[in-house]
Amino acid sequence: MELTKKPLEGKRALVTGGNRNIGEAIVRHLAVAGASVAINYVEEPELAEALVKELNQQFGEGTAHAIEADISDQTQC
């Protein structure tokens, strides 16, 4: 998906479970739309890091960041 206008440019998003499945698709769409995206994960850090690397190469450094945290644990939030 390629957009000529970046409706989310300058915006930030946090996607929980963003390293796979529906979460990953959401992360990709947000990045295409111009948002900087934090990818939250609990398991499979290699998937999160690979996605961060891919998006930063495609859209520029700082587009994506990975954050390991279990959002069901208040101390990790």
State the residue for tokens 């989310």.
8
Domain ranges of the chain: 12-76
Cβ within 8 Å of residue 36, ≥6 positions away: 11, 12, 13, 62, 63, 64, 65
Model pTM score? 0.89
- CA-to-CA separations, 43 to 32, 72, 76, in angstroms, rounded: 25, 14, 14
Selecting from 3.20.20.30, 1.20.1250.20, 3.40.50.720, 3.90.1170.50, what CATH number does the domain 12-76 have? 3.40.50.720
Q: What is the pLDDT along the chain (77 residues), one digit of tens a residue?
A: 555 689 999 999 999 999 999 999 999 999 999 999 999 999 999 999 999 999 999 999 999 999 999 999 999 98
C-alpha to C-alpha distance for 32 and 25, rounded to whole angstroms: 11
Contact present, 55 and 63 (Cβ < 8 Å): yes
